[in-house]
Amino acid sequence: MKLKSSLTSIALGAALIAGGVIAFVDSPSAAPVPSPLLLNAAGATFPYPIYSKWFTEYNRIHPDIQINYQSIGSGGGIRQLQAGTVDFGASDAPMTDEQLQQAKIPVLHFPTVLGAVVPTYNIEGVSRELNFTGDVLADIFLGKITKWNDAALASANKGVSLPNMDIVVVHRSDGSGTSYVWTDYLFKVSKEWQTKVGRNTSVNWPVGLGGKGNEGVSGLVKQTPGAIGYVELIYAVENKMPYGQVRNSTGAFVKADLASVTAAAASESKKIPADFRVSITNAQGKTAYPICSFTYLLIPSKIDDAAKKQAIKDFLHWMLTAGQNDAEGLSYAKLPEDVVSREMKAIGQIN
């Protein structure tokens, strides 16, 4: 049998010869690969290093689920959650009663890890860890202490040759949970800060330069001689920036590390309310670092999309179990076991 030349160009058929009969059978096309379920989230820069690792690892284990996280600051994360433009938010500062009332759907707080906010600085010729008291940090950020060799700084750092150099304050320019933790601490240790500035994700800073995100503050401090700023611990560690010890509520100067952050959480664990909204700055305990906090995922209590609801619940379960093993490698402290146990039960409140 002579084939017509046109048949030879047919790409969708395959010739089968059987008993002298030529037939054309459609070859099966490749099965379409389903797109992964996409979850959108936004918020805090404080936990971004571990969230980035978690979301990447979770996608590796569950390639059918992809979590897109925008590190825009706690304030932005709360606003996007309230507007319904993300599936969940993230914040280092618990939402206020007013913010919760503004949300279209009741919001649940899920602590993820614990982190520390540290004073980091750029002083030529000074590489050792400086000591800071709460009132000195408040006075620096109030603009009252303006020189590195100020008597109050020198008193806490005997033996250190501090230069006659102007102090350049660097703070966050965006709504920030890191700022909330920092100002919450200053609010507790300085009456003047309490009355003049207050505590919030955004405040009217008396002095200083603004940087966006922990990344922006880190960059400004590194490039500005005489600068002091506050960043989450991992940003100081990863950028090899010096950071100081801070005097805690017992009078001890304590360096931020896994042990001192864990100690702060342990000392305050009995005070954690049912909704997990708590401040642990200036915690009790001789070994507790005084400027640390839980950081939270903000989850709507009602999720209409069944697939998204199950994916979020499954991720939270993984985050509270296997995910915790990633915390310490990125300078975050794991959640206390009793907090994990309570959160596991709280997952059931997502409907």
Residue 20 resides in a domain: no
Cα gap 127→346, rounded to integer Å: 45
130, 245 contact by CB (below 8 A) = yes
Q: Do 267 and 214 have their domain in common?
A: yes
Cα gap 169→208, rounded to integer Å: 4
Single out the residue of 325, 316, 311, 348 nearest to residue 62, CA to CA: 311
- On the question of pLDDT at 254 being above 90, the answer is yes
pLDDT at 32: 64
Question: In which band, very low, low, confident or very high, does the pLDDT at 127 lie, cut at 50, 70 and 90?
Answer: confident
Q: Do 90 and 219 have their domain in common?
A: no
Q: Do 51 and 156 have their domain in common?
A: no
Give the three-state DSSP class for 222.
Answer: helix
Task: Tally the domains of the chain.
Answer: 2
Question: In which band, very low, low, confident or very high, does the pLDDT at 271 lie, cut at 50, 70 and 90?
Answer: confident
- On the question of pLDDT at 350 being above 70, the answer is yes
Residue 340 resides in a domain: yes
Q: Do 183 and 261 have their domain in common?
A: yes
The whole-model pTM stands at: 0.83
Residue 11 resides in a domain: no
Give the three-state DSSP class for 249.
Answer: coil
Residue 149 resides in a domain: yes
Element containing residue 131 per DSSP (H, E): strand 131-132
311, 65 contact by CB (below 8 A) = yes
Q: Do 77 and 212 have their domain in common?
A: no
Structure tokens at 321: 């179990």
pLDDT at 128: 81
pLDDT at 33: 61
Residue 4 resides in a domain: no
Question: In which band, very low, low, confident or very high, does the pLDDT at 11 lie, cut at 50, 70 and 90?
Answer: very low
- On the question of pLDDT at 289 being above 60, the answer is yes
Q: Do 132 and 267 have their domain in common?
A: yes
Give the helix ranges, DSSP H, for the chain. 48-61, 74-83, 97-102, 134-141, 151-156, 177-189, 191-196, 213-223, 233-238, 258-268, 306-320, 337-346
Rounded to the nearest 5°, which phi and psi values hold at 98? Answer: -65, -45
Q: Do 183 and 250 have their domain in common?
A: yes
pLDDT at 34: 73
Residue 200 resides in a domain: yes
Q: Which of 240, 271, 302 is the last residue of a domain?
A: 271
Give the three-state DSSP class for 121.
Answer: strand
Residue 13 resides in a domain: no
Single-letter amino acid code for the residue at 323: G
Question: In which band, very low, low, confident or very high, does the pLDDT at 1 lie, cut at 50, 70 and 90?
Answer: very low
Burial class (CB in 10 A: 0-12, 13-18, 19+), 83: exposed
The DSSP bridge pattern shows strands 107-121 and 292-300 to be antiparallel
- On the question of pLDDT at 26 being above 50, the answer is no
Single-letter amino acid code for the residue at 292: C
Name the most confidently modeled range: 32-41, 122-131, 226-235.
226-235
Query: CATH code at 206?
Result: 3.40.190.10
> pLDDT for 169-223, tens place per residue?
999 998 888 999 999 999 999 999 999 999 998 999 999 999 998 999 999 999 9
Question: In which band, very low, low, confident or very high, does the pLDDT at 30 lie, cut at 50, 70 and 90?
Answer: low
The whole-chain average pLDDT of the chain stands at: 90
Cα dist from 268 to 116, 174, 247, whole Å: 15, 29, 18
- Higher per-residue pLDDT: 345 or 331: 345
pLDDT at 277: 95
Position of tokens 């405040």?
203
Domain of residue 222, residue span: 116-271
Q: Where are the beta strands (DSSP E) in 233-309?
A: 245-247, 253-254, 292-300
Q: Do 49 and 162 have their domain in common?
A: no
Cα gap 7→11, rounded to integer Å: 9
- On the question of pLDDT at 23 being above 50, the answer is no
pLDDT at 240: 93
Beta pairing partners, 227: 168
Q: Do 99 and 147 have their domain in common?
A: no
- Higher per-residue pLDDT: 11 or 289: 289
Q: Do 210 and 253 have their domain in common?
A: yes
pLDDT at 2: 42
Residue 235 resides in a domain: yes
Average pLDDT over residues 141-169: 96
Average pLDDT over residues 228-252: 95
Q: Do 195 and 155 have their domain in common?
A: yes
The DSSP bridge pattern shows strands 209-211 and 13-18 to be unpaired
- On the question of pLDDT at 21 being above 80, the answer is no
Beta pairing partners, 31: none
Single out the residue of 261, 100, 93 nearest to residue 174, CA to CA: 93
Q: Do 253 and 313 have their domain in common?
A: no
14, 27 contact by CB (below 8 A) = yes
- Higher per-residue pLDDT: 158 or 9: 158
Angle value at C-alpha 225, between 169 and 242, nearest 5 degrees: 80
Average pLDDT over residues 64-74: 95
